Structure 1
Amino acid sequence: MSLSTSTPTSPGSPGSTGTSLPTVPDDLLSIGDLDGPTIRGILDLAIELKRDPAGHSTALAGRSVALIFEKPSLRTRASLEVGLHRLGAQSVVFDQRDSPLGERESVHDLGRNLERWFDAVAARVNRHAVITELADCCDVPVVNTLSDLHHPCQALADLLTLHERGIPLERAHVAFIGDGNNVCHSLIEAVVATGGRITVIAPPRHGPSADVVSAGERLGAITGGRVEVTDDPEAVRGVDAIYTDAWVSMGETEDPDKLEELTRFRVDESLMNLAGPEAVFMHCLPAHRGEEVVDRVIDGPRSVVFDQAENRLHAQNAWFVARLA
C-alpha cells in the first residue's frame, strides 16, 4: 500500500515501477526539514528499492558520496557503503575519529574541497553545529547521519519498520522511554509530521529538548499529530511500540546519578505486557543489555530492532535516489 499520493515517475526513471520520486530539500539535517507528504514519498521509494534492488542497480551510476565519521559506526557505515554500492554509486570513507572536523582545517575549507569531487556528503558528527556549517558552505547535498541533536536517517528507518508491521503512521502511538536524546528528537519530529502520537517517558532532568517538543506541538496542530512528555512509565498502556535507546550516548561521560535515575525506565517484560500483546519493541542499537532493556525483550518475538537496522539502508537509499537520481 502506497504511503503517498504523488504522481508516478516517467518510464526509465528509478521509480518507473510505479513509485514516484519525491521532491526533497537540498540537505537532510533533521526530520524537521521534511513535511509529512515528503516523508511518505521517501518511504514509498524505500519500499520499492527494498522490493526490487536489482531494478535500481544503476540509479546512481557515476555518482560519488563522501562518508565522514567523527564517531565509531557499525550500522551507519555498513548501510551507507553497501546501500550506495547497490545503487551503482561510489563512496569514500573519511575516518575523523582522531581528528574532529575543524581541527586540521576549517569546516568551510573541507566543504569547499569535497564539493569539487563528490555529488553528496554524509557525515556522522559530534556536534550538530558542525554539520550545519558544512551544509552552509558546501554546494552539494549534505546528509546528517547522526549528530548530538538529531538522527534523521534512523527516524525514517523507524517509520518504515512501523509501516511494515502494519501500523498506520497516521494512527501510530509510540512511547519513547529513557533518555530524551537525539534519537528521541528525530522520532518526535517524524511521528508528529506523519500524524501519529508520541509519548516521551523520561525523568525531568533527562527529557527531550523543550524546543523540539514545542515545535512538535505546533506541527501537530497542522498534521493532527501529538507529542506529550511524562515521567510515568505506566503511560505505555495501549501503545503500538515501545522505543528506547542507550542511557549514555556515545561520547558522553558515564554519570552514575543519571543511570540511577533511569533505572525505573528499563524496558522489561512487565512493561511490554503493560503496553499490550500487539506492541513491538524498538531500539536503534547498540544496546546496553541489562541496562535500558533486558535480554528477554530485545531477543523476544516482539522485537523489531534488526528490522530497524536493515531499514537504515533502504531509507537512506531512498533519500539519495530522490535527491541525486
Structure 2
Amino acid sequence: MTSVFKGRSFLAEKDFTKEELQYLIDFSQHLKGMKANNQPHRYLDGKNIALLFEKNSTRTRAAFTVAAVDLGAHPEFLGANDIQLGTKESVEDTAKVFGRMFDGIEFRGFSQQVVEDLANYSGVPVWNGLTDEWHPTQMIADFLTIQENFGELTGLTIAYCGDGRNNVANSLLVTSAILGVNIHVVTPKALQPEATIIAQAQAYAKESGAKILVTDDVDQGVLGADVVYTDVWVSMGEEEKFQERIEQLLPYQVNQSLMKKTQNDQVIFMHCLPAFHDDQTTYGKKAAQAYGISEMEVTDEVFRSKYARQFDQAENRLHSIKAIMAVTAGDLFIPKV
C-alpha cells in the first residue's frame, strides 16, 4: 500500500480512494503509538520541508513543525511576507525553485489553484494545510479521533452544525461519503454547500453506502448522530459579517439542548478550533460588547463536557500530518498496519 503514496501530493480528499484514506487513518494511529512509546520513526531523515503560510495558523504550523522534526526532517517556515506568491514571482516559478531546494512543501492559504500549481510545477510532494475549498489534513485527524472513540467508521453518523459553505463542511461531506460515514450538514438554506460539492459527495456515497442529508431542520439533522461537529461562524476574510452570521446561525449553536436532541448517550462533540465558547479572547470580547453574545458556535458547557473531543482532534493533527508526510515523501520501513 505504501508504494501507491510515494511522490504523491495531498491536495484534496477526492484524490484518494476509501482504502487509501483508511490506510492514512490507521497509519496515523500506528505513529501515535510509536511516539507514545518513544520509538524512533525518522522516515524523512535528512530531508528539508518548506512550510508556506499565507494564512496564520496555530495547530497546522505546530503540527507540521513537530511532525517534520519527529520524522528527522528540517522544517523551514515562510510566512505571507516571505513568499508573496503571484505578487513578485509567479506560483510556477516559485514552485520550480522550491522543488530544487526542498523535499516536500506544505501550503496553507486561500486558493486551491495555488496549491495545485505548486504540486504541478515543484516535482515534490505538496500538502494542503488548508485552502478556501478544502482542509484534507484536518480530515485524517478528525476520522482518527472518531475511530479511536468508536473502533470503526463505517455506518456512523456525523452531524455538522453551522456554516455549510466553508472548507471544513466541504471536506467532511466528501470524506464521509468516501469512507462510508453518514453525514448530515445542518445549516440555514442560505449557507448550504454548493450543489457541485453535494453532487460529488452523493456520487461517492452511492459506492460506499453513506447517507447524505443537507437540512435546515436541527431536530431532523442531529437525531441519531454519533458525532456533533461545528466550526467558527465567521471564516478568515469574512469578519465584517459577524452580525449576519450570528443572526443566521444562533439557532444552530451546539448547546446542551442540541446535544440531547441526538438521543444518543454515546455522542461526542468535535471542533477543529479555535472555538468561540467564551469571551476570554479579543474576538470574544468584541463579540460580547458589539453583539451581546459571549458564546457562539458552541457553549462553554458543551466545550468542557464529557462529550468534548476537540483537544484529541488537535493532538491528532500531529499524528495525521506525520503519516501523510511519511508515506508521500519518505522511504518507509514499517509493518502492515
Give the structure-1-normalised TM-score. 0.91
Q: Relative to structure 1, is the Cα distance of residues 164 and 96 closer, same or farther in structure 2, using a 3 angstrom cutoff?
A: same
Is this contact kept in 2: 1:169–1:191, CA < 8 A? no
What 5-or-longer segments of structure 2 have no aligned partner?
278-294, 331-337
Is this contact kept in 2: 1:69–1:97, CA < 8 A? no
Q: Relative to structure 1, is the Cα distance of residues 23 and 79 closer, same or farther in structure 2, using a 3 angstrom cutoff?
A: same
1:26 and 1:131 map into 2 onto residues whose CA distance is 13
Task: Give the equivalent residue in structure 2 for 1:314.
Answer: 319
Query: What are the equivalent positions in structure 2 for 1:160-175 lying under 5 Å apart?
Result: 160-175=144-159
Give the percent of matched residue pairs that are identical in Structure 1 and Structure 2. 36
Deviation at 1:133, TM superposition (A): 1.9
Deviation at 1:101, TM superposition (A): 1.8
Task: Give the equivalent residue in structure 2 for 1:61.
Answer: 45
Q: Relative to structure 1, is the Cα distance of residues 22 and 55 closer, same or farther in structure 2, using a 3 angstrom cutoff?
A: farther
2:133 and 2:40 map into 1 onto residues whose CA distance is 33
Q: Relative to structure 1, is the Cα distance of residues 238 and 263 closer, same or farther in structure 2, using a 3 angstrom cutoff?
A: same
Task: Give the equivalent residue in structure 2 for 1:133.
Answer: 117
Task: Give the equivalent residue in structure 2 for 1:197.
Answer: 182
1:270 aligns with 2:257: yes
1:220 aligns with 2:205: yes
Deviation at 1:100, TM superposition (A): 4.0
Q: Relative to structure 1, is the Cα distance of residues 94 and 138 closer, same or farther in structure 2, using a 3 angstrom cutoff?
A: same
Deviation at 1:244, TM superposition (A): 0.4
> SS state of the match for residue 52, structure 1?
helix
Task: Give the equivalent residue in structure 2 for 1:23.
Answer: 4
Structure with the larger helix share: 2
1:269 and 1:123 map into 2 onto residues whose CA distance is 37
2:208 and 2:3 map into 1 onto residues whose CA distance is 19
AA in 1 matched with 2:4: T
AA in 1 matched with 2:274: P
Q: Relative to structure 1, is the Cα distance of residues 97 and 73 closer, same or farther in structure 2, using a 3 angstrom cutoff?
A: farther
Query: What are the equivalent positions in structure 2 for 1:266-305 lying under 5 Å apart?
Result: 266-275=253-262, 276-289=264-277, 290-305=295-310
Deviation at 1:212, TM superposition (A): 1.2
1:260 aligns with 2:265: no
The C-alpha deviation readout for 1:190-235, integer Å capped at 9, x for no partner, is 1111111000001111111221110110111111122220001112
What 5-or-longer segments of structure 1 have no aligned partner?
1-5, 7-20
Deviation at 1:153, TM superposition (A): 0.4
Query: What are the equivalent positions in structure 2 for 1:81-96 lying under 5 Å apart?
Result: 81-96=65-80
AA in 2 matched with 1:296: E
1:167 and 1:174 map into 2 onto residues whose CA distance is 15
Is this contact kept in 1: 2:52–2:83, CA < 8 A? no
The C-alpha deviation readout for 1:8-51, integer Å capped at 9, x for no partner, is xxxxxxxxxxxxx3622711111111111001111111111110
AA in 1 matched with 2:272: C
> SS state of the match for residue 240, structure 2?
coil
RMSD: 1.4
Q: Relative to structure 1, is the Cα distance of residues 162 and 97 closer, same or farther in structure 2, using a 3 angstrom cutoff?
A: farther
1:49 aligns with 2:31: yes
The C-alpha deviation readout for 1:238-282, integer Å capped at 9, x for no partner, is 100000000101222331223211110100000011112211000
Give the structure-2-normalised TM-score. 0.88
1:161 and 1:155 map into 2 onto residues whose CA distance is 10
Deviation at 1:189, TM superposition (A): 1.5
Which sits farther off after the overlay, 37-46 or 92-101? 92-101
Which sits farther off after the overlay, 168-177 or 125-134? 125-134
1:99 and 1:314 map into 2 onto residues whose CA distance is 27
